[in-house]
Structure 1
Amino acid sequence: MPEAAHLPAPTGTTLAFDFGLARIGVAEGDAEVGTAHPLLTISASSNEARFEQIGRLIAEWQPRQLAVGLPVHVDGSEHETTALCRRFGHRLHGRFGLPVYWVDERLSSVLAASLLAEAQVFGRKQKAVLDQVAAQAILHTFFETGAVGRFNGRLPPISALP
């Protein structure tokens, strides 16, 4: 997959997703100021119900782009969930027509658990918000490192690919 020559810096609202088979964490942020906030966790059982919820979020927040955490091994190699996550990102782009940026999500769940522990959120309360806080960590990574590169959190958006 060739890298995009140059992509403009993201602007405006961004929705970020921490994709999982059982749950999808969602965060919202502003690219210009680099802030990110956890929104919700989607735990619908069917893909159609998941995308309906995402569609409502997109209608409400009017993002200019989407960021999807790309799960890879610590050494950067892909695994079985990586392909499922890419499929999810392609579906997002296909349904909503927004640029989708891949962001390295290595250790985002570990960071999210650490942040929640610092905030004294444990057990069931932590499980309920862990995925959306992981999406928040993904969005912070996106704002800090960009999304132009390969397997280091900076892949081009799907719309820039041939």
Structure 2
Amino acid sequence: MELVLGFDFGIKRIGIAMGNTLTGQAQPLAVVKAIDNAARFKQIGELIAAWSPARLVVGEPRHPDGTEHEMTLRCRRFANQLHGRFNLPVTLVDERYSSAVIHAKRGQIVDDQAASIILQQYFDDHANNN
């Protein structure tokens, strides 16, 4: 069993979810409201120290046709920073399919719930590939 943390990266907030490979179920964990990179990674580092995940999952946004946009590159950079700072494997998950759920409920959904949807997609994809 591995504990996994999932991230919904945003410029103002980062949603974080947790789950494990045994149950394959994701749940919201926290929202990091970052003033700057140092504060952002300090809070993330505290969560990583507390939960000791084996892997990190980051949602990778794309246009509906699969092409990249500005946030795609920002999320990829964030994923690279996570890997570099915490020396954990990072998996990018195409969040186009989860975005429909997120955008449909944008008035009700918060960032940690969005991260949970992304992480659940990772678990579902992983289960289907085994």
TM-score over 0.5 for the pair: yes
Unaligned runs of 5+ in 1: 1-10, 147-162
Residue aligning to 2:78: 88
Q: Deviations over 1:53-104 (max 9, x none)?
A: 0000000111000000001111111111111111100000000000000001
Partners of 2:77 and 2:34 lie apart in 1 by 18
Name the % identity: 51
Unaligned runs of 5+ in 2: none
Residue aligning to 1:63: 53
Q: Which runs of 4+ in 1 moved over 3 A?
A: none
Larger Rg: 1
Counting only pairs closer than 5 Å after superposition, residues 119-130 of structure 1 correspond to structure 2 as 126=108, 130=110
TM-score, L = length of structure 1: 0.72
Partners of 2:113 and 2:99 lie apart in 1 by 8
Give aligned pairs, total. 126
**Structure 1 residues 140 and 55: alpha-carbon distance in aligned structure 2, compared to 1, 3 A threshold:** same
**Structure 1 residues 69 and 55: alpha-carbon distance in aligned structure 2, compared to 1, 3 A threshold:** same
Does structure 2 retain, via aligned residues, the 8 Å contact 1:109–1:130?
no
Residues 1:28 and 2:18 are matched in the alignment: yes
Pick the aligned partner of 1:47 from 30, 37, 46. Answer: 37
TM-score, L = length of structure 2: 0.89
Residue aligning to 2:5: 15
Does structure 2 retain, via aligned residues, the 8 Å contact 1:31–1:143?
yes
Q: CA deviation at 1:45?
A: 1.2
SS in 1 for 2:116: helix
